[in-house]
Structure formats: structure tokens, C-alpha cells
A and B are shown apart, each in its own frame.
Chain A
Amino acid sequence: MPAAIQNPRVLLAQWRLPHPFPPLHYHRRLYFRSPTAAAAAAANSFSHSEILSIRESLLSRSKKAVEIASEYLERLRLAEPTVRSFLHVAETEEVLKQAEEVDRAVERGESLGPLAGVLVGVKDNICTADMPSTGGSRILEGYRPAFDATAVQRLRESGAILIGKTNLDEFGMGSTTEGSGFQVTANPWDVSRVPGGSSGGSAAAVSARQCVVSLGSDTGGSVRQPASFCGVVGVKPTYGRVSRFGLMAYASSLDAIGCFGSSVVDSAIILNAISGHDRLDATSSKHDVPDYVTELISTDNMGSKPLKGTRVGVIRETLGEGVEGEIISSIQAAASHLEELGAVVSEASLPSFSLGLPAYYILATSESSSNLSRYDGIRYGKQVPEDELASLYGNSRASGFGCEVKMRILMGTYALSAGYYDAYYKRAQQVRSLVQRSFKEALDENHILISPAAPSAAYMIGEKINDPLAMYAGDIMTVNVNLAGLPALVVPCGFVGGLSPLPVGLQMIGAAFDEGRLFRVGHVFERTLKGHRFVPPTMALSGC
């Protein structure tokens, strides 16, 4: 159990009136301002953390958990027809019942969990005992797990209220949510565009303020790329930081449960709640979980050079061919901003960078071909009755899995086959070691590395659906981090595009188990960036 959040002094100064969001406006023009000015502005601005402001509302009794829950449910209902983030929404009565319990706890003066009254969306490939969990696949249509994932259980223990299960590319395989067996989620910034993926539903839901924070999963960038596309904060923790128990496995050695929030503080709070060793996951780490939140520099005591001494490496290979010019500009601007904040910014090189993508696709598909074997129609999920065992397997899987999943199972099966194993799987493992080594060297030189989270901003729905290679190429910015098992944080850093601007995320990569530093740097970056609210225009549709 993470400790309850401390630090009320800052919060009281930032306490605000009921409406959780500013009136509709977004900042397409981005400009930076000095940290001092930012600090001054912060004192007057609304909270920089949705979770902390909910907590303050509850503790100061200015607002009841039931009211907060109702607002979110209402906004979810209004936005859902356009955004389609959710595959399943919790029963209203159930949500309100849990909110009432929070209110009663407040009245009785009991101590509140760090996520008390916080509405959380959970990616549908993470098991929840009280809601269906399909992994976005028809093969698990209507499947209800017998247990909560460890991360979900920890959320509940922290007082969170689950509001629903969010859409994704089937079993996490895809970058757009177009690979979902059920529906395509729209990007709240432009509903004709994809929200990214595979955790597109979780990113869109936070972006559209349908929930406060959400859980996603990141195997090759599935938290970071949609965070970038949807203009929210996304964190992919170190491999083993968060238990994978209850996460439907895609590629076990790469999978990590990650979090989305509308601010760095929120994502730090939720990661704090779900991190830590779990005896049900042999790959979960016993490494101590620091209190990420109290470690964040409050804007009050932010000096003029809050990042003084932080060495930042801009990964050279991520700012070249295949990356949109506007993206490169945004990242360079962000680098300058970090420099202004006192960081020492230099160029870093990862020579094996380009090898990561093919290695990733071999390892991920190999593991997935094995992990998805359990969906055979025998014990649960879709079964096509047949007289012969082979056709029962064949037809159940043929009708249950979507095209992308089938393609990856075929690729992975091929890569693991006798005679090909050495040329593909084994070689990819060797590349993985190379990638790990080059990250190690770069992170010995620098505290953090930065890069874009994706080579472009959100693209149109349908744009890459028939060109899987182009879609795979979009993962180039993120897959290396999974191969190395490192933590990475994506913070919105700007916009691209003319009349309909789209958000761009800055990816910060840290050393293993150094999430705390990523949060500190991200927080300072976010707080000093004019336009850090990143609220999408489609909020107008939901009446905000």
C-alpha cells in the first residue's frame, strides 16, 4: 500500500471551484516562459493535478465524491458516442455506491486512500472481476475474469473507483485501436483521426476527461504513442515495476502496465499506487518503490534553474529521416526549454537504434504466438463446435481472432520454427542485448534521454490500416525502450498542424527504476510550459 498523499499546503492554495476543467480553449500556439513567471502563475492557476484537487475537494467538503462521480459519468456518456473510448462502462449505481462509501469515509473522518474517489478507466486487456475483460478480442467476447489484476486490486485498495474498460487494438497488437474486435476509438482532438494505440481508449478517455486517470499497457509503445497522439501524460515504468498478473500477455518479456493522466503528478500518483513486488508475478521487482509524488518539486520552491545538474541527451537517431519536420521542431524546442530550466542538453547516440524495430517485431510476435495459444475455445471464450478437434481449434481461432493478431501469430510461429529459430529469434535476442548495452552507455553519460514519442502526430483513421509496415514503422521511437526494459515518460510538449492542431509528446527515457527522476523533470517541464492544459476541442461536444 502506498502512503497517503502528503503535502496539503500547496494544494490548499490551489483549491478551486467545482468545475474540473477550464472553459473550452486550447493553446495551439505554444510559447515558453521563465520559470519564475510560471511559478507566479501557478499560484493563481487551477490545480495542476486532478487527483489532488479531487482529494482537496473531498477533504475540504466542498464537493462530494458522488458529485464528482456523477460529473464524470455524465461527461463520459456525452463524449462516448463520438470518442468511443470504452468497451464497457460500469453500472451507474455501482459507481455511485462506491462514491457514497468514500463520502461516508470522509464524514467519519477516516483516512482516505491516495486515490479515494478517483474515477479510473482500465484497458480491457487488464482483468477485472466485476466487469468483462475481452482484450479487445471477439474470442473473449463476454469473458468475465475470476480475479482482479494485481494493479486493479491495488487501485481499489487505494480507493479508486473503476468507471469502465477502455478500447484497444486486439490484445494490444496495433497502434490505432483500428485493430479492436469491437470498435474504433476517435482522437478527441480530431475525431477523424486515430487516438493511437494500442491503449488508444485509455488515452482518449483521459484526454476527453471521461475519467481522471487510466491504466494502459505498453509492449512496444502502446502507452506512450497514444499519450502523444491524445495530448496526455503517459508513463511506461521499468519492466517489473508493476505486476503483470492479470494483464493478458502479449509479449511477456516486454509487457508493462502503464498509466495515463492529464498531468505528471496524476500519473505519478497512480503509478505509485500500483507499483511494487507481487508474489504472483515472478518477474516483478523487489526494488523499493519511492514516493514519486512527494519527490516532485513543488512549483512554490522552484528556483530559476530547477533542472540544474540534470544531464539530458537528445537521441540523435530519433530526429532524422522518417520523422516529420514539425515533430523534430517540437522536440528541439522542448530541448531548448529544458536547457533554459538549467539542464545540460547534449546529443546522444544509440548506434543500434534502427535494429530495434525488426528485433522487436520478431520477439514480440514470437512470444505472442505462444501467449495466445491458450485462446483455443476449450475452456472459455468463443468456441465453434466441431466434430474434429483440429477443426474445433481452427475454426474457433479463425473466427475469434482478427487479421492483425492472426498475422502476428503466423509471423511468431514462423520465427520460432525449427531451422529458423537461430536466424530470427536468437538473432533478435542478440540485438536486444546490443540495444540494452547502448542504452546503458547513453544513460551512463546522461540522466535522461529524450526523443519524440512517435514520428508523426495522430494520423487519419484508415490511413495506415492497409499498410501494416508503415504502421509498424511508427513504433520506431518506442520499441527500443521496451527491449531495454527501461522507464519512459511522455509529456505533451507542443502542437503541430495548421487549422486543426494536434498534440505532440516528448518522450523522456530514464535508467531502470529511475521513474522518480522522470517525474521530477516531467513535472517541471509541464509546469513551465504555457499551454500545459492540453484540453481537446472535442470537449465542446461533451458540453464542457
Chain B
Amino acid sequence: MAAVGAAVYFRGLRFKNFCFFPSSPHRWGSRSLLFRSGSNAASLTSISASGAQSAQTQTRAPAERPQTQTRKNAEESSQGYESVIGIETHVQLSTVTKAFCACEYSYGSPPNTTVCPVCMGLPGALPVLNTKVVEFAVKLGLALNCKLSLTSKFDRKQYFYPDLPKGYQISQFDVPIATRGFIDLDLPLEFGGGHRRFGITRVHMEEDAGKLLHSESGSYSQVDLNRAGVPLLEIVSEPDMRTGIEAAEYAAELQRLVRYLGVSNGNMQEGSLRCDVNVSVRPIGQSEFGTKVEVKNMNSFSAMSRAIDFEICRQVTLHKQGQGDQIVQETRLWDDGSQRTVTMRKKEGLADYRYFPEPDLPEVVLSSEYVEAIRASLPELPEAKRRRYEQMGLGMQDVLFLANDVAVAHFFDSAVDSGADVKMAANWIMGDIAAFLKSERLSIGEIKLTPRELAELISSIKGGTISGKMGKEILVELITKGGTVKSLITEKDLVQIVDPAAIEALVEKVIAENPKQLQQYRGGKTKLQGFFAGQVMKESKGKANPALLNKILLEKLNAESS
């Protein structure tokens, strides 16, 4: 019933032809591609050399022009209004076992195979906290610059649903493990760039619920409890974001962070990173927030960005039409097919979860030594990496690319540590290597090329041992088969000819073999220099040092004529 109601509600809006959305239904499909973001995702994910995420979003990289067009539309349409966006993110932790029992969890296992009395909520079963969950929570709390609660506790959040075996979720209510932090990020240049700091309200530990599987006929549903009890961290942001891009970038930075920390795979398609976004709009200058609407069901950053911009537009239009009272507190789902949000359920008052302290679990007490040991073990985090890369002289485009993926960043760092030129290493990784990874759908960890050999390759080129062109040739070998630069150069006899005498001999040979062209050259057709150069290079099997070759060739051609 709710869905039908939503459709009618929505259609009413559509006929008012709001924003940049087309009014005739048959155009939805084609126009949706023009709708702005997608490209945001491309910027976020095409630079990600690994993960299913990029694979998914790369398929819909829209043209640049329509995208800027729609952005402009969005900005114009929301004139006079400001949107306020806050995000609740659930991150599934990659602990070996679940939060409160010894079950191992792996995504995609056959239904109800990774369950036990505890996570099935059988009578008499009790939860016992997996200490890894606390460790991961502390890691993320520290990485988000939060204040840690040295004593926190678990609470029960109570509601009935078939995917919730105990009838309550073990969560943290009034004393979360971490509070009041912030996250720093850099917006991609194609969205104007710029540094942003968004506040983090809190981070708390909780358990995931199972999943409902609905039969095709709709006549029954089944429950899969594999996911029940899997540890989650819920990260609540301050309402600091203003656009879909900012929100998507916030989520992307969180994903980077959890991947850097190794606390989660951060995979959105598998549901390891889920964002619920609260969107409200208010006239600029108004201090109180507008009515907030929760938007769910976005399984990529691009979907997030698009969903939020859609929602902002929807709300602004309602305001402009004097129908602001039609914005109600509700949960809306993003429908990727139709590229719009639809009502899932209206909230009738606040749900009463009857939180109370979980009596089955003792308080979580952290010693300061424990916290300091974890702090000391933290890896370099994305923000620090970006600032360091900047100081190394890299442009922001390169910085964002390299720091985006922890594996890529490691690869780059190792190559530089092995002596590679910073700029050249960045170019090689972002150029040929990234292209190869993208076409083969591999991650940087899956190729045979080592950072040390990349450094070797770069110095061989820089030192003139081989040409850049040769370098590209052997790079493919290095990536697919491995081996060392030195052995490949020897094996393929690729060492550049840098001996002037040898080159002079080659030049003389070519000039002697082409008297006709020589005559034409000397007759003023100096363009033929290229022809001679090509012939010499061919004669040297591509190994002649180009600069030297040209210098000697020019000398010879001109010397004879004078």
C-alpha cells in the first residue's frame, strides 16, 4: 500500500515539472543518464584500482558536458535554499568471527550455514563480546579523531522483525565508544576541489541483523541468519554536508579509512558499507533545520550523490511551490532504475526502542595503555598521505589518485623508497599500470610487477639505458610475467646505443643508401630529416638514443651540404 501511495504522491510532483527532471515518463530511462553524478563515482572509483566497486561504476561514466549542465541546473533550482545532510554509516567489520559468538562469517555462504545458538537467539544462549570488535572500534575512533569513552556499555535496542532473532539488537545507546571527532577530505578537482572537514558525532559498536529472502510469488518469506551477529560500527556524522558530492566524498573517505585500517573491506555492493542519509532543506538564513527525510538503498557513491541531489531538488521544489508541509519525516528508498526516491514508510512519531543496558555483557573498559598501543600501531591514514604526497611535489590530481587506494599508495611508496623518481613513478602508476589494471580488472596486488622493478625501470629510462618506448614494452612483460628489468633488457637486447661512433656509422650508412633523398634534402626539403631519422632508428632496431641520433644526423646532413 505504501508503495502505491508513494507513486501517486510522486506523480503529483512530477506533473509540476520540477527541477531538471523530465515530465514525460518514457524519457526517464534515457534522461537518467544525463542526470549529474555518475561522474562523481567515476572520479571516486576509476581511480580505485581495485575492488568490485570501480567495476560497477565505471560502466556508467557519463559525458562531461551534460553533467556540468545538470549541476548548474541543480544549483540554480535550489537558489535561496540550503540543504543540510547528515549520514549514518554502517561498516561491517572484517573480524574472523561474529561480534558475540564464535561463528565465522563470509559473504555469500549458503543460507543459515554460519549460525549457532547464540546468533540464532535460541533459548538460554548468551552473547560474549569478541574483543577484536573493540580493537577495531578503537582504531576507527582514533582515525576519526574522536574522544574515546574509556568506559562504555552495550544496550538493547528492541523491536520485532523476523531478521532479528532475539527481538533486540545489541547496540550502544547513551555511552558510545567514541564521540566528537572529524574527518578531513579533499574534493575531486572535477567538482571544484577543495579541502573539507566534516564532524563525526559518534561511533558505536553493534550487531548486524539477518536477511529476509522473499519468495517470487510473494506468498512467503524466508530468513537467513548468516549475517545476524556480524559486528558493525555505526558512524554518525554531524549535519555538515551540503551537496550530494560532499556526502558521497564523505562516504568514500570513510571507505578509504576502513580499508587503510584493515577493519572492513568497505564493499558497498556486499553491504559492508551502508549509508543512510538524512536530507533536509531550509531557506538560506534560517537557523533551524527543515524536516528531515531519510534516504536509504544506495549501493554506490554515485547513487548516493544522485539520490541526495534528487531529494534536495524534490524538497526545494515543494518549498518553492508553497507545499513545504508536504515534506514529512519519512524513510525514502532510492530506486536506481527510475533514478528517484520513493516513500518506504512514514514515521508516525518516534519509534520507541525501549533501550536499556544489556545485562548479559559487562561494561567495556579501555585502559589508556591499550588505547596508546593501538594508536601507535595505526598506519599512515589517507589524509596524512595526501598531505605528504602534496609536499613531495605532486599535483592534487595525482595525490588523490595515489592515496585513494591503500594498495596503490603502498605500491607508490615502496617504489619511491626504492629510489624511483616521484613524478615518474606517479605517472607510470596512473598511466600504463592503471590502464592495464582497469582492462584486466585486476588490483595492483595481483600483478607480477614489484615496486622495486618499477623503480629500476624508471631509473633505467632516466639514466638513458633504455628509451621510454622500450620501457613501455617491457612493463607489460613485468606486469604479466614478472622478472627483473635488467634481465629483460639483456634478454631482449634492448640496451640503448649511446656510442656516438656507432650511431655515426649507422647515419653514414643510411645517407649512403639514400642518395636521392639526400639530394632533395639538400635542395631545401629539410622535412626529410624525419625520414632519415626513422631509417637510422630502424637500422638500429630502435635502440639508438634518439637525441644523439638527431644530433649526429643533423651534423652529417648539414656538414656535407656546406
- Chain A interface (Cβ < 8 Å from any Cβ of B): 126-127, 133, 135, 140, 143, 145-147, 149, 244-249, 251-253, 279-283, 366-367, 369-370, 372-376, 378-380, 389, 393, 413, 416-418, 421, 425
Name the B residues within 8 Å of A247 (CB-CB).
Answer: 124
A245 with B165: CB separation less than 8 A: no
A379 with B121: CB separation less than 8 A: yes
Q: Quick check: is B396 within 8 A (CB to CB) of the other chain?
A: no
A249 with B165: CB separation less than 8 A: no
B223 with A379: CB separation less than 8 A: yes
- Shortest beta-carbon distance from B80 to chain A in Å: 37
A417 with B126: CB separation less than 8 A: no
- Shortest beta-carbon distance from B96 to chain A in Å: 16
A283 with B117: CB separation less than 8 A: no
Chain B's interface size range is 20 to 34
Besides A245-B124, A245-B125, A416-B355, 12 other A-B contacts (C-beta < 8 A): A145-B123, A149-B124, A248-B124, A249-B124, A252-B359, A280-B126, A281-B128, A370-B158, A370-B167, A370-B168, A375-B123, A379-B121
Q: Quick check: is B534 within 8 A (CB to CB) of the other chain?
A: no
A280 with B128: CB separation less than 8 A: yes
B124 with A378: CB separation less than 8 A: no
Looking at B125, B129, B223, the one whose CB has the most chain A CB atoms below 10 A away is: B125
Chain B, 111-146, CB within 8 A of any chain A CB: 117, 120-129
A393 with B223: CB separation less than 8 A: no
Q: Quick check: is B362 within 8 A (CB to CB) of the other chain?
A: yes
* Chain B residue at smallest Cβ distance from A149: B124
B356 with A416: CB separation less than 8 A: yes
Name the B residues within 8 Å of A146 (CB-CB).
Answer: 117, 122
10 nearest interchain CB pairs?
Answer: A373-B167, A252-B359, A253-B359, A416-B354, A246-B124, A248-B123, A127-B124, A374-B121, A418-B352, A282-B128
Name the A residues within 8 Å of B223 (CB-CB).
Answer: 378-379
**Contact pick for A376, options B120, B124, B167, CB 8 Å:** B167
CA distance A410 to B444 in the complex (A): 58
A283 with B123: CB separation less than 8 A: no
Name the B residues within 8 Å of A374 (CB-CB).
Answer: 121-123, 165-167
B120 with A282: CB separation less than 8 A: no
Name the B residues within 8 Å of A147 (CB-CB).
Answer: 117, 122, 124
* Chain B residue at smallest Cβ distance from A252: B359
Q: Quick check: is B160 within 8 A (CB to CB) of the other chain?
A: yes
* Chain A residue at smallest Cβ distance from B361: A282
Name the B residues within 8 Å of A370 (CB-CB).
Answer: 156, 158, 167-168, 354, 356
* Chain B residue at smallest Cβ distance from A416: B354
Interface 1/0 per residue, B150-166 and A, CB below 8 Å: 00000010101010011
CA distance A367 to B156 in the complex (A): 10
Q: Quick check: is B360 within 8 A (CB to CB) of the other chain?
A: yes
A378 with B162: CB separation less than 8 A: yes
Name the A residues within 8 Å of B350 (CB-CB).
Answer: 418
B127 with A282: CB separation less than 8 A: yes
Interface 1/0 per residue, B355-368 and A, CB below 8 Å: 11001111000000
Name the B residues within 8 Å of A126 (CB-CB).
Answer: 124
* Chain B residue at smallest Cβ distance from A367: B359
**Contact pick for A373, options B168, B352, B360, CB 8 Å:** B168
Interface 1/0 per residue, B329-352 and A, CB below 8 Å: 000000000000000000000101
A145 with B122: CB separation less than 8 A: yes
- Chain B interface (Cβ < 8 Å from any Cβ of A): 117, 120-129, 156, 158, 160, 162, 165-168, 223, 350, 352, 354-356, 359-362
* Chain B residue at smallest Cβ distance from A140: B123
CA distance A162 to B355 in the complex (A): 39
Name the A residues within 8 Å of B165 (CB-CB).
Answer: 374, 378-379
Name the B residues within 8 Å of A127 (CB-CB).
Answer: 123-124
A133 with B123: CB separation less than 8 A: yes
- Shortest beta-carbon distance from B463 to chain A in Å: 62
**Contact pick for B356, options A140, A245, A366, A372, CB 8 Å:** A366
- Shortest beta-carbon distance from A172 to chain B in Å: 12
* Chain A residue at smallest Cβ distance from B352: A418
CA distance A393 to B161 in the complex (A): 9
B160 with A393: CB separation less than 8 A: yes
Name the A residues within 8 Å of B120 (CB-CB).
Answer: 379
Name the A residues within 8 Å of B158 (CB-CB).
Answer: 370, 373, 416
- Shortest beta-carbon distance from B130 to chain A in Å: 11
B354 with A413: CB separation less than 8 A: yes
**Contact pick for A380, options B122, B126, B127, B359, CB 8 Å:** B122
CA distance A81 to B350 in the complex (A): 53
* Chain B residue at smallest Cβ distance from A390: B160
CA distance A68 to B515 in the complex (A): 122
CA distance A283 to B362 in the complex (A): 7
Name the B residues within 8 Å of A417 (CB-CB).
Answer: 352, 354
B167 with A282: CB separation less than 8 A: no
A425 with B356: CB separation less than 8 A: yes
CA distance A246 to B162 in the complex (A): 23
- Shortest beta-carbon distance from A287 to chain B in Å: 14
- Shortest beta-carbon distance from A427 to chain B in Å: 13
- Shortest beta-carbon distance from A378 to chain B in Å: 5
Name the A residues within 8 Å of B362 (CB-CB).
Answer: 282-283
* Chain A residue at smallest Cβ distance from B360: A252
A373 with B124: CB separation less than 8 A: no
Name the A residues within 8 Å of B122 (CB-CB).
Answer: 145-147, 374, 379-380
- Pairs A–B under 8 Å by Cβ, sample size 27: A126-B124, A145-B122, A145-B123, A145-B124, A146-B122, A147-B124, A245-B124, A249-B124, A251-B359, A252-B360, A253-B359, A282-B128, A283-B362, A370-B158, A370-B168, A373-B158, A374-B122, A374-B166, A375-B123, A378-B162, A379-B122, A379-B223, A380-B122, A416-B356, A417-B354, A418-B350, A421-B354
CA distance A282 to B127 in the complex (A): 7
Name the B residues within 8 Å of A248 (CB-CB).
Answer: 123-124
Name the B residues within 8 Å of A372 (CB-CB).
Answer: 167
CA distance A244 to B124 in the complex (A): 8
* Chain B residue at smallest Cβ distance from A279: B128
- Shortest beta-carbon distance from B223 to chain A in Å: 7
* Chain B residue at smallest Cβ distance from A378: B162
- Shortest beta-carbon distance from B288 to chain A in Å: 23
- Shortest beta-carbon distance from A469 to chain B in Å: 25
A373 with B166: CB separation less than 8 A: yes
The verdict on A244 contacting B126 (CB below 8 Å), with A373-B160, A416-B354 known, is yes
CA distance A248 to B166 in the complex (A): 12
CA distance A535 to B129 in the complex (A): 46
B126 with A281: CB separation less than 8 A: yes
**Contact pick for A421, options B156, B356, B361, CB 8 Å:** B356
CA distance A425 to B360 in the complex (A): 17
Name the B residues within 8 Å of A389 (CB-CB).
Answer: 162
* Chain B residue at smallest Cβ distance from A139: B123
- Shortest beta-carbon distance from B357 to chain A in Å: 8
Name the A residues within 8 Å of B166 (CB-CB).
Answer: 373-374
**Contact pick for B360, options A145, A282, A378, A380, CB 8 Å:** A282
CA distance A133 to B117 in the complex (A): 15
CA distance A248 to B360 in the complex (A): 12
CA distance A149 to B156 in the complex (A): 23
- Shortest beta-carbon distance from A361 to chain B in Å: 15
Name the B residues within 8 Å of A252 (CB-CB).
Answer: 359-360
Name the B residues within 8 Å of A280 (CB-CB).
Answer: 126, 128
CA distance A428 to B398 in the complex (A): 60
- Shortest beta-carbon distance from A290 to chain B in Å: 23
Name the B residues within 8 Å of A367 (CB-CB).
Answer: 356, 359
CA distance A146 to B123 in the complex (A): 10
CA distance A253 to B121 in the complex (A): 18
* Chain B residue at smallest Cβ distance from A246: B124
Looking at B124, B166, B359, the one whose CB has the most chain A CB atoms below 10 A away is: B124
CA distance A144 to B129 in the complex (A): 26
CA distance A376 to B165 in the complex (A): 9
CA distance A247 to B156 in the complex (A): 19
Name the A residues within 8 Å of B360 (CB-CB).
Answer: 249, 252, 282-283
- Shortest beta-carbon distance from A429 to chain B in Å: 8
The verdict on A143 contacting B123 (CB below 8 Å), with A282-B129, A418-B350 known, is yes
- Shortest beta-carbon distance from A33 to chain B in Å: 46
